[in-house]
Amino acid sequence: MHPAPAQLAAHLDAVPEAAENVERSPKDYVIELKKGDPAEPRIFFAPPAGGTVMGYIDVTKLMTHQGAVYALQSPGLYEDEEPQFLHYTELVTLFIEAIETFYRPGIDYLAGHSMGGHLAYGMNQRLCHAGKAPKGLIILDTVPVLRDEADQALHADMNEEEVKMLALVLGMGNLVGIQPEALQGLTFQEVKQKILKEAEKDEVVHQFMNDQYLDKYLQMQTHNTIMSQAIELEKEPFPVPFYIVQSSDHASDFQKKFADWGGLRKRVVLVLPHQRRPCHHDEKTAGR
């Protein structure tokens, strides 16, 4: 497990050079974002399509939750790693193994934004089958089915460079605090450089954010966005309450889909709206 963000920079200084053969365990993908009262529930965030924990760092700073907060990072983003294009079920298995030392059944929560919500849902189902159900499941800006014919038609008309630009602007650009309007008219390389420049202002982020990191992020974002279109969530209900946190700025057709969670779970609490999301979510973008 990695230390809290304030200590993450020191950890990254010790990361071996890419040429070294490093064997990682699932626990290496657990990052402690906030220490907390051991007596309080812990929250475990599953990663969105890009695999990064960056969006959850700011969210955690705004939380009044008294327990510890953890986030999971997808394999392939560390400096000594190559992108790993794992299937949904493989990610669910990996993340359950990653948290097993820290997770307490019936006490702790699982959570996730966008595709991370689907991963948290899959983890919940798997843990329930094993008799280790969480206290609750927190779904941030995610609907049960992400497939969208209009979305697929939109991307069909875009070349690979345009899709990557979209993911870069609305994904990583948003994560470092750059509004899409500020990146209009720039080339792909100019957008990358502007994002890297902005990342230098954060004492933690600038330690790992570089050109290679962005390239790996984009590869994983593209793969996982396509994969998310094919995810079929298990419909077997378990006695775990779902908290569906929905922002108020979705297109009406997408917003209606939040009600579909009721078909998977009877105990659903819809929270509308929340003030800050892990990252910009537009149902027509790769920011999922």
Which range of 21-35, 116-130, 267-281 scores highest in mean pLDDT? It is 116-130
Confidence of residue 148 (pLDDT cuts 50, 70, 90): low
Report all structural domains of the chain as residue ranges with CATH numbers, in order of start: 5-271 (3.40.50.1820)
Specify the pLDDT at position 14.
Answer: 43
Q: Which residue has the tokens 């969105």?
A: 48
pLDDT in tens, 62-75: 888 899 999 999 99
| 103 HSE (CA, 13 A, CB side) | 25
| 184 HSE (CA, 13 A, CB side) | 4
Please give the residue that has the higher pLDDT: either 207 or 77.
Answer: 77
Q: Is pLDDT of 8 > 70? A: no
Contacts of 39 (CB under 8 A, 6+ apart): none
pLDDT in tens, 187-222: 999 999 999 999 888 877 888 888 999 999 999 988
